[in-house]
Amino acid sequence: MIYSGDSLSVSMLDDGFAELVFDAKGSVNKFDRQTVSELDEATAALASHGGVKGVLVRSNKGAFIVGADITEFTSLFALPDEEVLTWVGNTSRVFDRFEDLPFPTVCAVNGFALGGGCEMALACDMRVADNTTRIGLPEVKLGLMPGFGGTVRLPRVIGSDNALEWMTTGRDRNGEKALKEGAVDAVVSADKLREAALAMLKDAAEGKLNWEARRAQKKAPLQLNKNESMMSFSTAAAMVAAQAGKHYPAPHMMVETVQKASTLDRDGALTLENQGFVKLAKTDAAKAQIGIFMADQLVKSKGKKQAKSATKDVKLNAVLGAGIMGGGIAYQSAVKGIPAVMKDINRDALDLGLKEAATILGKGMQRGKVDAAKMAATLNAITPTLEYSTLKDADMVIEAVVENPKVKGIVLKEVEDTVADDAIICSNTSTISINQLAESLEKPERFCGMHFFNPVHKMPLVEIIRGKDTSDDTIAAVVATTLKMGKTPIVVNDCPGFLVNRVLFPYFAGFGKLLLDGADFTAVDKVMEKVFGWPMGPAYLMDVVGIDTGDHAANVMAEGIPERMARLDNDPSTLMYKADRLGQKNGKGFYNYGVDKRGKPTKTAADEAYALINPVSAERKEFDKDEIIARLMIPMANEAIRCLEEGIVDSAAEADMALLYGLGFPPFRGGIFRYIETMGLANFVALADKYAHLGPIYQISDGVRDMAANGKSYFA
């Protein structure tokens, strides 16, 4: 052994070859600060050992190196710019010193080699992958770009076009794909990996492979003539502009950096990379996206822990109601291997539910993601029925009938009378209090909310609602089943609308009031989509959800939380509902929906909608974009704060993830709490106070006022 650390060690093999093995104690292999300094020490030991003919780099774990240690980023990036620059500069020089060792280096890449792991592999002269390899540079997903030489070496190894595609999308590759693109030099089976890499190293040392030329290519400017360069970078810039848009600075910075660095050697190019990295590390987008990563980790580990404690294994699901939601839930259950009985009172609804499942599977087949056998197996795993008795063997029942407390109460009682004593019963209600629904059950401890989002097969979130009598066993089993169904569970406590809809309706109320004060709904949609970054503005979202569904839910919310959610007089959505403008489902809402001559769907602001709103609203006027955003987002933020203060949700991080996964909150903003924090709590309080006269949804709690006054954070 010529070097031994906590994360890696170097030993001498026969014949003068050395082996550097990553094998972190008690953790996956990752580049935290300690590992980077161990790599530097190991490099120095290799350089000074004398007589080393070459070094094999590999991992002793199921994955090579998963990347940098993201948990270190928040405190690191809070340092002054110069210190972040020094850190990233020093770190990337460690990789350079390794690359400059005076003998060949070959990397054996197994499992994940992401971010810093991929950059370690690129610092070697050659790479061998195996059939478990996933290699890539996913930094863009954190609002960053590679910082340990990835933007310099990858373009010089696989060409700038391919490299920019890797980096700007963040997608990783398997070994075969990486081989085709030239990122690795061979792919072998996992059991042959070390042997193959060692053989390649020996060939290199014996001069059978020209490792010096490979290394020289990584250290020289990019081999592009002027025309090629112009074509390559303008295409990449256009692609990034179209796909990432203006809210995500990282992919733009990557194109700019690789382009500027293309005429420079390694050291010049790395200086540009270091500078670009620091600029990105300081953006709000990076802060938000790193926050999402950490929150996602929290949500995942909480879910796993809860699922582990489950004593009941759900093998058969039953879904009541074969509508939009019931059909989607039955499909999701079946496709993930839990057969589902789907009950309705209406034969046509059952047919529609099955047809919807077949349509989703058909689309999957077109994209090559589903084969005929999977399609048949999934459809066979859904049993449509009109009979309650078919439900009797179900381990779990998910009620998804119409959003009416009386109907739900009757249905839930019938379910309880049919199923086994230990079966779990859930409701997919979007707004009705779980405690209220539990009153119709004899055993409320086996009951909770299981709130899926529409469309079920696409939306990742399931909000699991704990009623006052719900048992821990029930929650654990529902969390475990949610995970099995491929969804992300977030457990919240009961209140009308739970977390996600409780914060959505004040946002809609802010929108309604803004229209009554003279705003044009198309202008509001435009600002909320283009400037704030929502996938849909509020008018369009209401049309998609269904104006009738939304109006009905708003009434339930008004009944549940009258002090803030009482309906507005002349609420535009109610006017629309009364005029049978139900949104996309009947082709007319705030917008009219149709198809153009070529069969493409169209969406045009409806004169009929203006005709309904104009007589009851103030004279039409333009609102500043900041005012539009404030008047919609303050109510949402206020309600989220109240949910946290009342213990409806456990943490700001979980609230952020719920809004991201359930509503499509713009990821570059990181969630509602991250949005408030980015603005600064004191600024948020001042802004809310400015609009407090508009009504209770704008009036902030004492809690947030105190936090702002004391300089506290929701993420502390």
Query: Judged by CB under 6 A, does residue 420 bind ligand NAD?
Result: no
Residues in the chain: 716
**Helix (H/G/I), strand (E/B), else coil: 467:** coil
Supply the DSSP symbol for 345.
S
Q: Which of 250, 314, 325, 629 binds ligand NAD (CB under 6 A)?
A: 325
Shortest spacing between CB 452 and ligand NAD, in angstroms: 6
Using the rule CB under 6 A, which residue among 147, 326, 449, 550 binds ligand NAD? 326
Binding of residue 559 to ligand NAD (CB under 6 A): no
386 lines the binding site for ligand NAD (CB under 6 A): no
Work out whether strand 8-12 and strand 3-4 pair parallel, antiparallel, or are unpaired.
Answer: antiparallel
The residues near 592 (Cβ < 8 Å, ≥ 6 apart) are 602, 603, 604, 606, 608
From candidates 79, 231, 241, 402, binder to ligand NAD by CB under 6 A = 402
Secondary structure of 366-418 as H, E, C letters: HCCCCCHHHHHHHHHCEEEECCHHHHCCCCEEEECCCCCHHHHHHHHHHHHHH
φ, ψ for residue 171, nearest 5 deg: -75, 135
Using CA atoms in the order 357, 358, 360, 366, what is the torsion angle rounded to 10 degrees?
160
Q: Which is nearer to ligand NAD, 187 or 322 (CB)?
A: 322
Count of H helices and E strands in the chain? 31, 20
Return the number of the residue (350 or 637) whose C-beta is nearest ligand NAD: 350
Distance of alpha carbon 459 from its chain centroid, rounded? 11
Q: Which stretch binds ligand NAD (CB under 6 A): 276-284, 427-435, 515-523, 602-610?
A: 427-435
Q: Per CB under 6 A, does 492 bind ligand NAD?
A: no
| Shortest reach from residue 420's CB to ligand NAD, in Å | 19
d(CA 608, CA 580) in angstroms, rounded, equals 11
**Which region among 17-25, 77-85, 280-288, 324-332 touches ligand NAD (by CB under 6 A)?**
324-332
Q: Which is nearer to ligand NAD, 352 or 692 (CB)?
A: 352
Among positions 104, 146, 321, 662, the unique one binding ligand NAD when judged by CB under 6 A:
321
Tell me the window of 250-258, 341-349, 561-569, 618-626 that interacts with ligand NAD (CB under 6 A).
341-349
- Among the listed ranges 142-150, 190-198, 233-241, 396-404, the one in contact with ligand NAD (CB under 6 A) is 396-404
Nearer to ligand NAD, 545 or 658 (CB): 545
Q: Which is nearer to ligand NAD, 114 or 557 (CB)?
A: 557
Q: Which of 43, 151, 418, 430 binds ligand NAD (CB under 6 A)?
A: 430
Of residues 545, 630, 648, 681, which one binds ligand NAD by CB under 6 A? 545
- Minimum separation from the CB atom of position 553 to ligand NAD (A): 7
Strand ranges of the sheet holding 134-136, from the earlier edge strand across to the other edge: 112-114, 134-136, 173-174
178, 322, 479, 660: which one binds ligand NAD (CB under 6 A): 322
b/e map of 125-159 (b: 16 or more CB within 10 Å)?
bbbbbbebbbbbbbbbbbbbbbbbbbbbbbbbbbb
The smaller minimum CB distance to ligand NAD, of residues 328 and 510, is found at: 328
CB of 706 to ligand NAD, least distance (A): 35
Q: What's 259-289 look like in SS3?
A: HHHCCCCHHHHHHHHHHHHHHHHCCHHHHHH
Q: Smaller CB distance to ligand NAD: residue 152 or 318?
A: 318
Q: Which of 284, 344, 639, 654 binds ligand NAD (CB under 6 A)?
A: 344
| Of the candidate residues 46, 200, 320, 504, the single one contacting ligand NAD (CB under 6 A) | 320
Among positions 141, 218, 343, 588, the unique one binding ligand NAD when judged by CB under 6 A: 343
Contact 129, 107 (CB under 8 A): no
Minimum distance from residue 357 beta carbon to ligand NAD (Å): 14
CA distance 687 to 704: 13
Please report, as a single letter, which amino acid is at residue 529.
E
- Cα–Cα distances in Å, from 237 out to 12, 226, 227, 261, 270? 47, 16, 15, 15, 21
Among 20-28, 53-61, 99-107, 323-331, which window interacts with ligand NAD (CB under 6 A)? 323-331
Instruction: Supply φ then ψ for residue 226, to 5 degrees.
Output: -55, -45
Smallest distance, Å, CB 468 to ligand NAD? 20
Cα end-to-end span (Å), the chain: 43
Taking the mean position of all CA atoms in its chain, how far away is CA 360?
22
Smallest separation (angstroms) from ligand NAD to the CB of 586:
14
Binding-site size for ligand NAD (CB under 6 A) equals 26
* Cα 592 to Cα 573: distance, rounded to the nearest angstrom: 15
Is residue 451 among the annotated active site residues? yes
Alpha-carbon distance values, 241 to 44, 196, 236, 238, 324 (Å): 43, 42, 9, 5, 35
User: Is residue 405 within the footprint of ligand NAD (CB under 6 A)?
Assistant: no
Question: Rule CB under 6 A: is residue 412 a binding residue for ligand NAD?
Answer: no
Give the residue at shortest CB distance from ligand NAD: 323
Output the CA–CA distances (angstroms, integers) from residue 715 to 48, 416, 683, 688, in the order listed: 46, 42, 17, 21
- Check 247, 451, 457, 552 and give the catalytic one: 451
Shorter beta-carbon distance to ligand NAD: residue 17 or 452: 452
Confirm or reject binding of residue 323 to ligand NAD (CB under 6 A). Answer: yes
Distances (CA, A) of 468 to 15, 280, 424, 534: 70, 45, 16, 34
**For the chain, percent helix, then strand, then coil, each to nearest 5?**
55, 15, 30
Give the one residue of 24, 140, 299, 349 binding ligand NAD; rule: CB under 6 A.
349
553/547 Cα distance (integer angstroms): 10
Which is closer to ligand NAD, CB of 3 or CB of 505? 505
Q: How far apart are CA 514 and CA 624, in angstroms?
A: 12
Cβ proximity to ligand NAD: between 163 and 329 the closer is 329
Interaction of residue 433 with ligand NAD, rule CB under 6 A: no
Q: What's the min distance (Å) between Cβ of 353 and ligand NAD?
A: 7
**Alpha carbon distance 266, 413 (integer Å):** 71
Instruction: Output the smallest distance, CB 487 to ligand NAD, in A.
Output: 13
Footprint of ligand NAD on this chain (CB under 6 A)? 320-326, 343-346, 349, 400-403, 407, 411, 428-430, 452-454, 545, 549
Catalytic site residues? 451
